Amino acid sequence: MVFICKKKQTEKLCRLLRCDSCNSFCIIWFSRMQILSVILFVSLVVAHSCSSLPKRDDSIRNTIRSITNIAQTTLVHIRILRAKLPVAPQIEFSAPSINGLTNISYDLALLDQELKSPESLNQIQADVSSLEGLVRSLAVTMNCPVNDRPTGEVSNSLFPDTHLYLTLAKVQGYLDKFLLNKDKLKVC
């Protein structure tokens, strides 16, 4: 940095903001190269603190939060659809046990397959498919074993209304149980 002493009007390299010779504040003259290097340094420091990649734990926590939000949204979609349908018979369905990510991913894939049949379930099928994809991604992130997605034909029921109500009951029952056991998302 080059400082110019106001009183003596001489250029002098100084280490401080005060001029050694006259003990007064001096005007600071930066060269263009010094300004660019200061700007580059500041931008790198700011960019590093603002754009660092999220830590693995933060990423897992955010994914679990997203999974929970999608599950709650899907339950709202089911309730809205049930309100539009004629009164349904009481269907009891026991959801399978929820043990960990591998199990959850497989069960959601089965429900996704079953939801592909009735056209009125398109939104719920999209929700479950997104949910299954996020759970599968979380399992891979946590180095959990992931089963292949189940394949098979979707059954065209002779009783489509009954099939619709049964499918809704299965998905709702599973998601209700899933939300009660969301701590299992941290277990393989």
Q: Which domains does the chain have, with CATH numbers?
A: 2-50 (no CATH), 56-186 (1.20.1250.10)
Q: How large is the C-alpha radius of gyration of the chain?
A: 31
On whether the CB atoms of residues 184 and 99 are closer than 8 A, the answer is yes
For 74-129, write each residue's pLDDT tens digit: 999 999 888 887 776 676 767 778 888 888 888 888 888 777 766 778 888 899 99
Total residue length of the chain: 188
Element (H, E) at 132: helix 122-141
Torsion (CA) 132, 112, 130, 135 in degrees, nearest 10: 0
Task: Count CB-CB contacts under 10 A for residue 121.
Answer: 21
For 39-86, write each residue's pLDDT tens digit: 766 666 666 555 556 687 888 899 999 999 999 999 999 998 888 877
